[in-house]
Amino acid sequence: MSAPSPPSTLGAARAVLAKELRLERRAPQTLVAMALFSAMTYVVFHFALRRDTVEGDLASGVLWVTLTLAALLGIGRLFVADRDEGGLEGFLLAPVDRTALLFAKAGALLAFLAALELVAVPLFAVLLLGPSPGAGTWLRLVAVLLLADLGIAVVGTLVAAIAVQTRARDLITSILALPLLLPVVIAAARASAPLLALHGDHALTGRWPAVLGLYDLVFGLLAYALFDFLVED
Amino acid sequence: MPTTRKLYGTRLRALSILTAVVLTGGFALAAFYAPIEADQGFSQKIFYLHVPLAIVSLCGFIFGGICAIQYLRTNDPRHDLRAYTAIHQSLIFCAAALVTGSIWAKAAWGQWWVWDEPTLVSFLIVFLLYATYQPLRFSIEDPEKQSRYAAVFAIVAGAFVPLNFLAVRLANPLIHPRVLNSSGGSLPVDMKAAFYACLIGMALLFVTLWKYEMTAKHNRAQLRSLKRKLGGPDAAAIRGRSAAPRVSAS
């Protein structure tokens, strides 16, 4: 009798991703915290800046600072449950490619970020944003958000995998992820500033999505090459 | 005890003398031979210190990344030690480049810090990123795991450097001419000669200091193992904690 063949990398990734999403759906923890955090950050910005509405550069800055910091919360929690409850050991015992874990975790983080933005961006539009952009502008903003989320998800997964093995998990997550995510913040904030401006043609400059795409590509390949070293033993 | 193992301190004296000569010569050329720059006057001379520091520290980071790749491929702790020493030292050079850049900015533009000088801003970000290398190593107990994670970090950070320069460069209009552009530099010949002398001197300084540090680390490890042989495991207890990779004397 032949042994059952081990699942493919993508199959394993899909199973782990489904587990992550099911976990968050049954006992919402990370997403709720991220959404609450971004709402509170808007309030903080309102008082700290003494502004009722923001537009242009300032709006873009407020939005991306909030989203980046909220993403840090998600990154910090990404591997914690697996480490505490022995999920990592279970995964390592399974006869599957370790890259599957990268795919699943990055996918989960991407899903969290997208879900967060479904709440946080409309909330931003209601609470702080001065101009009310049209449908075309929103579409362009969604494209920027997606490109940025991809980069945050990949780099966030790498950082989370490193940080979860350290003693000072939270500290390492923040000080490692922030500088690494800086190109994303620069490109995304620059790309969305004209979209959130009061006047102007709300155009998207081609170079910033290109920088985001390049960032996603480079760090995607790097993560693919290096992730195996982070989940040994 | 016969020293069958590789000696680390070989040719250190010759290298040190060469470094001192080239660096002094380079600075002398910069001070007395290179002409005073028309716009900025004497304060432009800091260029001969600032730019070599910056270039050498970036090269050191890249060298650290290459050593880290070697470590992941071979699992040989010596590569990890090389990467650690190179990155640690580059961080110091990077800080010096930031300080000299800041002084230059004060002299040239009247402000200690200018955000629209992309290279300087990129340097600050690179500095902040590599500054987390030590805390990261420090917070992982298991030495083997520490080396492996630090290596992954060094490679990711190495790839981050050019991307970061690209993003920051695009975000700012250029306000002063590039010193070394792609067409081979816009410097007059006498300035160029002084600059390259300073660059070579600075690179030699990096290599010399790096070799001294490696030698010191190996000597300390050898001394410790000798002490252990004589007085048992407690004779050479490690005082305090260090993030440096542990080297076995063998």
φ and ψ of B113, to 5 deg: -140, 130
φ and ψ of A226, to 5 deg: -105, -15
Q: Give the A:B interface size as CB pairs under 8 Å.
A: 80
Q: Mutation target for A interface from B122, B170, B241: give the one with most A CBs within 10 A.
A: B170
Q: Report the distance separating Cα B250 and Cα B236, nearest Å.
A: 16
B132 exposure class (CB count in 10 Å sphere: 0-12, 13-18, 19+): buried
Share of chain A above pLDDT 70, in %: 97
Which pLDDT band holds residue B111 (cuts at 50, 70, 90)? confident
Binary contact (A166, B139; C-beta < 8 A):
yes
Helix (H, G, I), strand (E, B) or coil at A91: helix
Closest CA relative to residue A113, chosen from A142, A74, A164 = A74
Of A175, A183, A229, nearest to B72 by CB-CB distance is A229
pLDDT over 80 (residue A203): no
Q: A92 — contact with chain B (CB < 8 Å)?
A: no
Gap from A81 CA to chain B (nearest CA, Å): 19
pLDDT of residue A170: 85
Q: Mutation target for B interface from A164, A190, A229: give the one with most B CBs within 10 A.
A: A229
pLDDT of residue A197: 85
Contacting residues of A for B159, CB less than 8 Å apart: 218-219, 222
Q: Which of A23-32, A39-48, B104-113 has the highest mean pLDDT?
A: A39-48
B23-32: b (≥16 Cβ within 10 Å) or e: bebbbebbee
pLDDT of residue B238: 63
pLDDT over 90 (residue B85): yes
Question: pLDDT tens for residues B37-62?
Answer: 767 777 778 888 998 999 999 999 99
Reported residue count of chain A is 233
A175-197: b (≥16 Cβ within 10 Å) or e: bbbbbbbbbbbbbbbbbbbbbbb
The answer to ipTM > 0.95 is no
Residue B11, token pair as written in the block? 């040719």
Which 141-180 residues of chain A touch chain B by CB within 8 A? Answer: 158, 162, 165-168, 171-172, 175-176, 179-180
Contacting residues of A for B141, CB less than 8 Å apart: 167
pLDDT of residue B184: 44
